[in-house]
Amino acid sequence: MSSSPGLGDTMRNRVPVVPLSGADITEREIDAVVTVLRSGVLSLGPVIAEFEELVRARTGTRHAIAVNSGTSALHLLVRALGIGEDDEVITTPFSFIASANCIRYERGVPVFVDVEPETGNIDLGRLEAAITPRTRAIIPVDVFGQPVAMRAVMALARARGLKAIEDACEALGSEFEGAPCGSLADGAAFAFYPNKQITTGEGGVVVTNDDHVAELCRSMRNQGRGEAGIWLCHERLGFNYRMSELHAALGKVQMQRLDEILARRSLIAGWYEARLRDIAGVMTPPVRPGVTRMSWQVYVVQLSDEIDRDAVMQQLAEQGIGCRPYFTPIHLQPCYAQEYCYRPGDFPIAERLGRQSLALPFFNRITEAQLDCVAEKLGQACRGSCRTRSRVFVPGEFRTGRDRPGIRVSRPAVCAESS
Ligand SMILES: Cc1ncc(COP(=O)(O)O)c(C=O)c1O
């Protein structure tokens, strides 16, 4: 699998040979946005409802409510489900920060539970032990598009009187045992930043089967106005989380193309698998048993512990290959570590994934020649980046003094006991 001759020239000119991601915008999307511009109705118009209907039908839910970001979608659900001050919400440290921040916006308390080493999804085997009398909800995340086993989550939530919000921001179109991501929880959030499977530029959607939750979310996205939409009558505290007609028009065409887009992304994931599986020290992303449809958001490999991931990343970047670490665990982000005294070792599995993961270029229009180039450069970089000694946390090696290994509550009081 040789790289195409043109790629070498581009590298010398320091233009990215292969970017990390890129939106797939066709003339259809452009026409749809221009049509809205010409219509003069730029907000609170008909296209929002059309976009919402496509998402609702696709996820098989009763309601879809379009908003201006995935974070807004999560925040609305937290509020609509009545999660408030001091309520504990169980979630994962291995995610984009919004999945925990949405709890803090309402002065709730994120309780982190470590993750499965293979998928990076929250370890369902530890959920039960994380439940206390203060627990109100669970927010699992479908990491990189890999679905969480939501039937199991919902069975536990129902048995213990808890609510569940699925952070499906990375998983539009994925299915687990035939159930679309977002369809089983009390509410779910999707996100449409340009690195997602489909984009609206910025945007998100809430889906839910609960009429009351839907009504609250619709109202709160629009400054707390009531269903009757009486001009400037605000029934409750709300926000401006509205999506514009321009964003919805883009999203509508992207939704209509979703099957074509997901098929292309599956094909690319297969191409990667074929090229990377024999590179020593590179583990390609698994698709867990029970996944009946995988919607690939990003393509993240794990490097073995002997390989210095950051050195690999630097070498790739120098050669024009877009790549990123995915994710730095939430508990080690300054705004969590400082406030709650989290430290390395609190969640060893999430930390190991965070330290050894590498997102490779992944977008609909990537070519086989570009993939050849990525595979070749990745192999070279891995061979040249072996550590002589490494400090590696292994599963089971948790900080001492914890009665619930791999589980920690985000409360400032924890600082005293952990010092
Ligand atoms: C898992 C997860 N949750 C939440 C979000 C937040 O979405 P947004 O960036 O649209 O606010 C993202 C987006 O990157 C995400 O990946």
Taking the whole predicted model, whether its pTM rises above 0.75 is answered as yes
DSSP state of 219: H
- Ligand 1 pocket test, candidate residues 77, 193, 195, 239, most atoms within 8 A of CB: 193
User: Which phi and psi (to 5°) does residue 386 adopt?
Assistant: -80, 135
- Whether 160 contacts 88, CB under 8 Å: no
- H/E element holding 282? strand 282-283
For residue 363, the CA-to-ligand 1 centroid distance in Å is 18
How far is Cα 37 from Cα 57, in angstroms, rounded to an integer? 26
Q: How is residue 9 written in tokens?
A: 């020239």
User: What pLDDT score does 402 carry?
Assistant: 63
Distance from the Cα of residue 18 to its chain's centroid: 22
**Which CATH number applies to 27-256: 3.40.640.10, 3.40.50.720, 3.90.1580.10, 3.40.50.1260?**
3.40.640.10
For ligand 1, is residue 193 a contact (CB within 6 Å)? Answer: yes
Nearest to 127 by CA among 96, 168, 162, 177: 162
**Sheet holding 179-180: strands in order across?**
179-180, 175-176, 291-293
Q: Please give the average pLDDT of every successive group of 10 residues along the chain, which has 419 residues.
A: 38 68 96 98 97 98 98 98 98 98 98 97 98 98 98 98 98 98 98 97 98 98 86 92 98 98 98 96 96 98 96 96 95 96 96 97 97 97 79 49 80 63
- Ligand 1 pocket test, candidate residues 71, 74, 122, 197, most atoms within 8 A of CB: 71
DSSP state of 18: B
Task: Report the CATH architecture of 5-20+258-383.
Answer: Alpha-Beta Complex (3.90)
User: What pLDDT score does 105 carry?
Assistant: 98
Residue 201, Cβ density class (10 Å: 0-12 exposed, 13-18 middle, ≥19 buried): middle
- Whether 88 contacts 136, CB under 8 Å: yes
For residue 34, the CA-to-ligand 1 centroid distance in Å is 27
Locate the domains of the chain by residue range: 5-20+258-383, 27-256
- H/E element holding 164? strand 163-167
Both ends of the chain: CA-CA distance in Å? 53
- Ligand 1 pocket test, candidate residues 102, 169, 243, most atoms within 8 A of CB: 169
